[in-house]
Amino acid sequence: MIINFPLLNYVVDINKAADIIKKCNPDILFFFSTIAPSQTLVNRLGVPFLSNINLTGISFLTDNFGTFLSSDKGLNFLISRIVPNPLQQEIEIVNDYQIEFNRWYPGMKYDVDSLDGYINVSLLAYVLENSSPPYTKSSIIKGIENLNGKNFKGLDLKYNPETHEFSDKIWIDKFGDQK
């Protein structure tokens, strides 16, 4: 059974959501909201209730939510992303990202959002470096389309002409002691 609990714009009735979730006694709980209401919901539901539920969410929750669940609450959490984990140095683009990030933001923590931006800008720079002026919207789009099927710094690019995206992979990261 899937229960969809819609939240009105900027109105979050966490108590009502928690009551509905507890009545359902789910096996899996997906978090599709931002970090603040997600943390509030976790606090409202409590660790004893959540300890036997598979918790998962999508990348805009960020690693901070995973750390909140695993380190602060002792819960396991799976997060899906459209970019690799920013700590995965074995992927060339991630290694390049870390070098540039450390150069410009020493001491700061890597994050998915800045890696996503770095990948996008790197792709654009590559297209521009391998194109001839004049640079137009259509020439840039054509250059991006021509990347289809190529490996770009460890990322296999598969261009989808319907969505204009290269993302056909989802990376899963684990927080907590789950196997």
19 and 66 co-located in one domain: yes
Q: Are residues 113 and 145 in the same domain?
A: yes
Residue whose structure tokens are 């261009």: 159
Token pair, residue 12, equals 């979050």
Q: Alpha-carbon distance 153 to 73, whole Å? A: 37
Give the separation between CA 94 and CA 179, rounded to whole angstroms. 25
| 148 is a domain residue | yes
Q: What is the pLDDT of residue 55?
A: 93
Question: Which residue, 118, 64, 127, 71, is CA-closest to 91?
Answer: 118
The answer to whether residue 140 is domain-embedded is yes
The domain of 45 spans: 14-81
The answer to whether position 178 is within a domain reads no
Asked if 175 and 66 touch (Cβ cutoff 8 Å), the reply is yes
- For the chain, what is the domain count? 2
- Residue 173 placed within a domain: no
pLDDT per residue as tens, the chain (179 positions): 566 655 555 556 788 889 989 998 899 999 888 888 889 999 999 999 999 999 998 877 777 888 899 988 999 999 888 888 888 878 999 999 999 999 999 999 888 889 999 999 999 999 999 999 899 999 998 999 999 999 999 999 998 888 878 877 788 888 887 65
pLDDT of 159 reads: 86
User: What is residue 6's predicted lDDT score, i.e. its pLDDT?
Assistant: 57
Verify that 24 and 76 share a domain, yes or no: yes
- pTM score of the predicted model: 0.75
Same domain, 76 and 99: no
Give the integer Cα–Cα distance in Å for 5 and 54: 18
Three-state SS across the chain?
A: CCCCCCCCCCCCCHHHHHHHHHHHCCCEEEECCCHHHHHHHHHHHCHHHHCCCEEEEEHHHHHHHHHHHHHHCCCCEEEEECCCCCCCCCCHHHHHHHHHHHHHCCCCCCCHHHHHHHHHHHHHHHHHHCCCCCCCHHHHHHHHHCCCCCEECCEECCCECCCCECCCCCEEEEECCCC
Q: What is the pLDDT of residue 10?
A: 56
